[in-house]
Amino acid sequence: MEFLLPVFLKLFPNMLPSTFQDKMKEEEALKRKLKARMEYAKFLQDTAKEMAKEVQTSRSGETKQTAEDLDEFLNKVRKGERVSNDEILSFAKLFNDELTLDNMSRARLVNMCKYMGIRPFGTDHYLRFMLRKKLRDIKNDDKMIQAEGVDSL
């Protein structure tokens, strides 16, 4: 029987328990996750760019300048340049209503849940609750890291 084990594994590749997964399957799963996260990041970038275009087409000259600044800011972020906290906060005001969880469609909520590692099943209210809970946990972790110092990691 020991000598027939390789033959059986060739005929029935899923015969081994999941603890014996080979590296290829693990790498494929990681690649799928990375691809999904890249798609979601592109989705968020497209949303920000779309909102910048909407702001740019508005009638106010001041708002138009803000849209041009936002476009420059997004280009800096894409290139990986350093961005100050003040710049981030100045542009965060533009997105205060559009990107809140309360105004998101179900498709966006499901995508955010998948991105954050939350099972996307349930009502919209439940998904919002789970996202808020996950964000609160991340904020608490950040506060603990800030209190202890990054060097302690």
HEC string of the chain equals CCCCHHHHHHHCCCCCCHHHCCHHHHHHHHHHHHHHHHHHHHHHHHHHHHHHHHHHCCCCHHHHHHHHHHHHHHHHHHHCCCCCHHHHHHHHHHHCCCCCHHHCCHHHHHHHHHHHCCCCCCCHHHHHHHHHHHHHHHHHHHHHHHHHCHHHC
User: Both 57 and 109 in a single domain?
Assistant: no
29 belongs to a structural domain: no
Domain count along the chain: 2
Per-residue pLDDT of the chain (153 residues; tens, 9 = 90+): 778 877 877 777 767 665 555 677 778 888 988 888 888 888 877 777 776 666 666 555 555 566 677 778 878 888 888 888 888 888 777 665 445 778 788 888 888 898 889 999 999 999 999 999 998 999 999 899 989 988 887
- Tell me if 79 is assigned to some domain: yes
Give pTM, 2 decimals: 0.44
88 and 129 part of one domain: no
Together in a domain, 91 and 110: no
In a domain, 19, yes or no: no
Residue 28: the pLDDT is 84
72 part of a folded domain: yes
Identify the domain containing residue 113 by its residue range.
96-146
Residue 43 shares a structural domain with residue 80: yes
CB 131 within 8 A of CB 101: yes
Does residue 49 lie in a domain region? yes
My answer on whether 81 and 107 are in the same domain is no
Q: For residue 87, is it within any domain?
A: yes
pLDDT, residue 65, reads: 62
